Structure 1
Amino acid sequence: MDEPKVTGTKPKMSWTRKILLILGFLSTLAAIALITVAVTQNQPLPKNTKYGIVLDAGSSHTNLYVYEWPAEKENDTGVVQQVEVCKVEGPGISGYSHDTENAGHSLVQCLRQAQGVIPSKQHQETPVYLGATAGMRLLSLENKNAADKVLSSVEKTLRSAPFNFQGARIISGQEEGAYGWITINYLLGNFKQSGWTKLLHSLKSVSETSGALDLGGASTQITFVSDESPSESPENLLYFRLYGKDYRVYTHSFLCYGKDQALQQKLARDIQASASVVAGGGSGPLSFDVLLLQMLLCSS
Structure 2
Amino acid sequence: MDEPKGAKLCKRFHPKYAAMGFLLIVAIIALITVAVTQNSSATKNRKYGIVLDAGSSHTNLYIYEWPAEKENDTGVVQQVHVCEVDGPGISGYADRVGEVGVPLRHCMDKAKELVPKEKHPETPVYLGATAGMRLLRLENENTAKKVLSAVEETLRSYPFRFQGARILTGEEEGAYGWITINYLLGNFKESIWPKFLPRIFFRTGTIGALDLGGASTQITFVPDQETLESPADTANFSLYGKQYTVYTHSFLCYGKDQALWLKLLQDVLESSSSRIRDPCFHQGYERTLNISNLCKSPCTAPNITLPCSSQLQIEGAGDYEMCLTSIEKIFNTVHCPYSSCSFNGVFLPPVSGDFGAFSAFYYVMNFLNATKKPMDQVIEEVKNFCSKPWNQVKAEFPKVKEKYLSEYCFSATYIFSLLSQRYNFTKEKWQGIHFLGKIGSSDAGWTLGYMLNLTNMIPAEQSYTQPLSQSSYITLMAICSILVVCLLVIGYVSYRKPKCLKKDVI
* TM-score of the pair, normalised by structure 2: 0.45
Q: Give the SS at the match of 1:72.
A: helix
What's the counterpart of residue 124 of structure 2? 127
What's the counterpart of residue 58 of structure 1? 55
User: Structure 1 residues 113 and 264 mapped into 2: Cα distance closer, same or farther (>3 Å)?
Assistant: same
* 1:229 counterpart = 2:227: yes
Instruction: Select which of 96, 100, 104 maps to 2:97.
Output: 100
What is the correspondence of 1:1-300 to structure 2 with a 5 Å cutoff?
Answer: 47-73=44-70, 79-192=76-189, 193-194=191-192, 197=195, 208-226=205-223, 227-232=225-230, 234-272=231-269, 273-274=271-272, 282=292, 286=293, 288-291=294-297, 294-296=300-302
Distance 1:100 1:223 in 2: 34
Q: Give the SS at the match of 2:106.
A: helix
Distance 1:132 1:292 in 2: 17
Give yes or no for contact 2:212–2:255 (8 Å, CA) kept in 1. yes
Q: Give the SS at the match of 1:63.
A: strand
Structure 1 range deviating more: 46-55 or 266-275: 266-275
Which ranges of structure 1 fall in alignment gaps of 5 or more residues? 1-37, 199-206
User: Structure 1 residues 291 and 126 mapped into 2: Cα distance closer, same or farther (>3 Å)?
Assistant: closer
Q: Give the SS at the match of 1:139.
A: helix
Deviations 1:195-253 (A, max 9, x none): 7549xxxxxxxx61111111111111000013422111x24222223344332211111
User: Structure 1 residues 76 and 229 mapped into 2: Cα distance closer, same or farther (>3 Å)?
Assistant: farther
Q: Give the SS at the match of 1:105.
A: coil
Give yes or no for contact 1:72–1:78 (8 Å, CA) kept in 2. no
RMSD of the alignment, in Å? 3.0
| TM superposition shift of 1:69 | 1.1
Percent identity reads 62
| TM superposition shift of 1:145 | 1.4
Which of these two proteins has the greater Rg computed from alpha carbons? 1
Distance 1:244 1:85 in 2: 32
Deviations 1:17-73 (A, max 9, x none): xxxxxxxxxxxxxxxxxxxxx9xx89x866211100000111111100000111134
User: Structure 1 residues 146 and 264 mapped into 2: Cα distance closer, same or farther (>3 Å)?
Assistant: same
Give yes or no for contact 2:138–2:298 (8 Å, CA) kept in 1. no
| TM superposition shift of 1:161 | 1.1
The structure showing larger relative contact order (alpha-carbon pairs under 8 Å, at least 6 residues apart) is: 2
Which ranges of structure 2 fall in alignment gaps of 5 or more residues? 1-32, 197-203, 276-287, 304-329, 333-343, 345-506
* TM-score of the pair, normalised by structure 1: 0.73
Question: Size of the alignment, in residue pairs?
Answer: 247
AA matched with 1:229: T
Distance 1:69 1:276 in 2: 56
